[in-house]
Amino acid sequence: MQVKAQGLLNAVKWIEESYGQGALRDVIRACGPEVRERYTSAIAIEWHPVAEFVEFLAAADRLLGHGDGRVAEDIGAAGARVNLRGTALRMVFYAARPEFLMKRITQLWSRFNDEGSMNLLHFDDYSSTIEVRGVVTPHVLFCSTLTGWAREVVLAMGGTTPSVRHVECRARGDARCLWHLRWSGTAVIEASEKKRSDGAASVAPPPMPPSTSRISVVEPTRSSGRIFTAEPHRSSRRMSIEPKPDEKPSEKPADKPADKPTEKLSERPPPSQKKP
pLDDT attached to residue 103: 79
pLDDT, tens digit, 9 for 90 and up, residues 207-260: 444 444 433 334 444 444 444 343 444 433 333 334 445 545 445 455 555 555
- How far is the C-alpha of 128 from the C-alpha of 122, rounded, in Å? 5
Long-range interactions of 268-273: CB distance < 8 A, separation 24+:
none
119 backbone dihedrals φ, ψ, rounded to 5°: -130, 135
Lowest mean pLDDT among 38-42, 51-55, 174-178, 197-201: 197-201
pLDDT, tens digit, 9 for 90 and up, residues 67-91: 999 999 999 999 998 887 754 455 4
pLDDT attached to residue 149: 94
> pTM score, two decimals?
0.66
222 backbone dihedrals φ, ψ, rounded to 5°: -65, -30
pLDDT, tens digit, 9 for 90 and up, residues 16-67: 999 999 999 999 999 999 999 999 999 999 999 999 999 999 999 999 999 9
The conformational region for residue 225 under phi > 0 = left, psi -120 to 50 = alpha, else beta, is left
pLDDT attached to residue 20: 96
Which CATH number applies to 2-198: 1.10.510.10, 3.40.47.10, 3.90.1520.10, 3.40.50.620? 3.90.1520.10
